[in-house]
Structure 1
Amino acid sequence: MRLLLTGSSGWLGRFLAPRLRAQEHEVVGLDVAPGADTGIVGSVADKALVDRVFAEHGIEAVIHAGALHKPDIARYPKQAFIDVNLTGTLNLLAAAVAAGNDRFVFTSTTSLMISETIRAGKAGGATRAAWLTEDFGPLEPRNIYGVTKRAAEQLCALIHREHGLPIVILRTGRFFLEEDDTHRDLSGENIKANEFLNRRLTVEDAAEAHLAALAKAPALGLETFIISAPPPFAPDEAEALLHNAPAVIIRHFPEAAELYARRGWLLPAQIDRVYDPTRAERLMGFRCGTDFAAVLGAIEKDEPLPFAHDPNYVSPKEIGEMERC
């Protein structure tokens, strides 16, 4: 299958492209930054370019993983998010419909599910951790990133209703490898390890989820899935997670405190949200392979951690910007 992969130079794209080729897909990479898997340098916001790529390469399916992300809020105006995340998505959807494609995979984000109220947790008056499934709502994204990704999801739903294009929307949890841009109370690796309890996955699992979505899209029609490592908790633990997360964690993993102490790490004092990815397993047959137990196993065996962390990582598009300046 001749497949257009947007964001092909990015962190996800560089893992996804080789896996697609291993399944004998012909991958056409489109990104604003050059890269090993990027054959076309340009923006999805450029409709003429998108239409030309479809016409010249005979595109049969799309994985739309390119976007401006949350850290970009500090670097780009709101209009840029609208141009790339919203108009760019519409350009791709329209081209896919015109080409008669039978599948479209859209990389969305769990971030759009988090309102300021959820983020505030106990300080905002919450009494329990938010247990988040695909049916959670109303959705009140708290920044331009979340707003544009939510609007792009709604565009996907509109195009499916109007034209029948099968679309799978993947609300992925965190899989970035750089430092968190808002939290500095723990080391980067400690933060990432903790997030496997409720909101993180590896980039390898993110890539595999996209492969599963690509294969299942024609049969699914229109579906939205949360993609995150399976949490060890149950909904009836949500209150305790917000007020005394370590006690709940140790109940599931008695060895966690001692293993964390080896590294000088701390368990989270509270967990304000839990993403539940069971729908993806039930309807798409996909389950992340790396979870919190795998993190503890690596520590116990003194093996490399099963996730990537690079505090010095700079995205390819930002490298390009710095070089142009």
Structure 2
Amino acid sequence: MRVLLTGSSGWLGRYLAPLLAQNGHDVTGLDVVPGAYTQIVGTVADRALVERAMGEHGIDAIIHGGALHKPDIVRYPRQAFIDVNVTGTLNLIEAAVAAGNDRFLFTSTTSLMVRADVRAGAGDKGAWWMDEDFSPVEPRNIYGITKLAAEQAVKLIHREHGINVAILRTGRFFPEDDDTHAVPSGPNLKANELLHRRLTVEDAAAAHLAALEAAPAIGCDSFILSAPPPFARADAEELAHDARAVIARYYPDAAELYAAAGWTLPQTIDRVYDPSRAARRFGWRAQTDFASVLTALRNGTASPVAHDPDYTSPIVRQEREACTS
């Protein structure tokens, strides 16, 4: 299949592009900055560029992974988010329909589900249990608003034209430090987040490949992508007050392993992302979970979760290089 992959120079793109190629797909990368897997440099907000890319490369399917993200809020005006995240998405899926494509994948985000009350902490019933039916969805910033608008746009095009659509709401998989939390350390925080809100970039890439191949059977649906949490909904109340006791029931040696590493387990967990629909509908399940971290600690091997405090996105690196040249 000839696949147009947007965001091909980014963190997900550098894993997804070669994975697609290894599985027999002919990948054309499109990004605003050059990269090892990028053949077309330009913005998805440029409709003429998108249409040329579709025709010149004979594209059969689109994976739209490119976007302006939450850290970009401090660098770009709101209009830029609308241009890239909404207009760009509409440009791509309408071009896919015009080209006769039968499938379209949209990389969305669990961030758009974080309302003000979710952001504030656990609810009356304890930790928020976040599956695809969680509502109402009220994004807290322009990033979430535009990603939700783009989701609605691709659903509209599905209803009008029948193109198969898979919306993949990814949990956290960025390698850099958290932009709001300095404690615990980056590797420790990422390990903790595998309990309830994170997945590896490798698993995110594998989910896109699986959804691409299953798209005709999916029709149109949204999916949360996260490592499978060990918890049950019945644990929600206790997670909000004493997460360590809950973790101890599932992983009796976790506290000891963490102490040996100088790490700390979370005292409370206020939300849990449930990725079980993806497993049911297209057979994807993250291969790396919290148990994988404990195995690494037990064996003295490297953490399975990528951590790079010096990582910067390609567009930020390009801007910095332009300023110093």
> Shared topology, TM-score over 0.5?
yes
CA distance in 2, matches of 1:324, 1:63: 29
CA distance in 1, matches of 2:222, 2:140: 20
Match of 1:133 among 106, 119, 131: 131
Is structure 2 residue 18 aligned with structure 1 residue 18? Answer: yes
Aligned to 1:255: 253
CA distance in 2, matches of 1:314, 1:134: 30
Aligned to 2:166: 168
Aligned to 2:175: 177
Long gaps (5+) in structure 2 = none
CA distance in 1, matches of 2:111, 2:60: 30
Aligned to 2:322: 324
- Residue 126 of structure 1: how far off its partner (Å): 3.9
- Residue 119 of structure 1: how far off its partner (Å): 1.2
Query: For 1:104, what is the secondary structure of its paired residue?
Result: strand
| Cα deviations by residue, 1:167-190 (Å, 9 ceiling, x for unpaired) | 000001000000101111210011
Using the aligned pairs only, state the percent identity: 67
| Cα deviations by residue, 1:198-220 (Å, 9 ceiling, x for unpaired) | 00000000000000000010111
- Contact 1:198–1:229 (Cα < 8 Å) also in 2: yes
Read off the aligned partner of 2:276 and give its amino acid letter.
Answer: T
Aligned to 2:222: 224
CA distance in 2, matches of 1:264, 1:119: 28
CA distance in 1, matches of 2:153, 2:197: 25
Stretches (4+) displaced over 6 A: none
Query: For 1:11, what is the secondary structure of its paired residue?
Result: coil
Q: CA RMSD in A?
A: 0.8
Read off the aligned partner of 1:289 and give its amino acid letter.
Answer: Q
CA distance in 1, matches of 2:174, 2:182: 16
Mapping of residues 151-166 of structure 1, within 5 Å = 151-166=149-164
CA distance in 1, matches of 2:119, 2:125: 13
Query: For 2:121, what is the secondary structure of its paired residue?
Result: helix
Aligned to 1:121: 121
Query: For 1:211, what is the secondary structure of its paired residue?
Result: helix
CA distance in 2, matches of 1:16, 1:187: 28
Aligned to 2:58: 58
Mapping of residues 1-325 of structure 1, within 5 Å = 1-122=1-122, 126-325=124-323
Long gaps (5+) in structure 1 = none
CA distance in 1, matches of 2:108, 2:173: 13
CA distance in 1, matches of 2:72, 2:293: 29
Query: For 1:319, what is the secondary structure of its paired residue?
Result: helix
- Residue 127 of structure 1: how far off its partner (Å): 4.3
- Contact 1:85–1:149 (Cα < 8 Å) also in 2: yes
CA distance in 2, matches of 1:51, 1:220: 26
| Cα deviations by residue, 1:282-319 (Å, 9 ceiling, x for unpaired) | 11111000000000000110000001000010111111
| Cα deviations by residue, 1:37-75 (Å, 9 ceiling, x for unpaired) | 000110001111101111111111000000111111111
CA distance in 1, matches of 2:108, 2:201: 14
- Contact 1:118–1:126 (Cα < 8 Å) also in 2: no
Aligned length: 323
